[in-house]
Chains A and B, each alone.
Chain A
Amino acid sequence: EVQLVESGGGLVQPGRSLKLSCAASGFTFSNYYMAWVRQAPKKGLEWVATISTSGSRTYYPDSVKGRFTISRDNAKSSLYLQMNSLKSEDTATYYCARQNNIGTTYNDYWGQGVMVTVSS
């Protein structure tokens, strides 16, 4: 059974940093692209980052480019999101998701999400 479990969320002040983690199990982690998707309170879904199987390629929307860094450790079956220079508009539930194929594709499994609140 595919499982994705996020951790590391919490309350953080504007301008500070936070690192999210996602522990994967039930599939061969190193064979899949992975992604982060977020959802602000009572809002829709927003794609945040994607990483290739080896970690050599990463992709971001303009809203987080230069502030967020996605990474992975295939030996630990873990995905990470380093978030720097946080803003109030980054407040959201962050989901770890498995991407079905390489490159641009859909998310076939999602974690339960972790809440990040950016506030002073």
Chain B
Amino acid sequence: DIQMTQSPSFLSASLGNSITITCHASQNIKGWLAWYQQKSGNAPELLIYKASSLQSGVPSRFSGSGSGTDYILTISNLQPEDIATYYCQHYQSFPLTFGGGTKLELK
């Protein structure tokens, strides 16, 4: 099984700043990576797929990059509505697995 290691687990940032979240796969997932945002009490929502493709309707301040085993989610110009928990997920093969999540809070 492919293990997904996300860091950091918690992140505190100020409005207007940029943040990065990293996701490491235990083997090469060839860019088959998605990022989700989950606001408190709500279902997850897709942000990015294929490592760097922005889902329709997602603000351009969200971006993804990476290849092989290492991937990054970047949020620029942090907004109040970005406060949430973020998860990565590989879809290279079954079983599909998620990272442990990164909880983003306001400083």
Does B bind A? yes
Interface size on A, residues (CB 8 A): 22
Interface size class of B (residues with CB under 8 A): 20 to 34
A37–B89 Cα distance when bound, in Å, is 12
Q: How far is the CB of A81 from chain B (nearest CB, A)?
A: 16
Contact at B94–A104, with CB atoms within 8 Å?
Answer: yes
Q: Is the interface of B mostly helix, strand, loop or mixed?
A: loop
Contacts known (A45-B87, A45-B89); A108 close to B46, Cβ less than 8 A: yes
| Stretch from B15-23, B67-75, B76-84, B96-104 that touches the partner | B96-104
Q: A14 interface residue, CB < 8 Å from B?
A: no
Contact at B95–A44, with CB atoms within 8 Å?
Answer: no
A44–B99 Cα distance when bound, in Å, is 8
Interface residues in chain B, defined as those with a beta carbon under 8 Å from any beta carbon in chain A: 32, 34, 36, 38, 42-46, 49, 55, 87, 89, 91-101
Q: Can you name 24 A-B pairs with beta carbons within 8 Å?
A: A37-B44, A45-B38, A45-B101, A47-B96, A59-B94, A59-B95, A61-B95, A62-B95, A100-B49, A104-B32, A104-B91, A104-B92, A104-B93, A104-B96, A106-B49, A106-B89, A107-B36, A107-B46, A108-B46, A109-B46, A110-B43, A110-B45, A112-B42, A112-B43
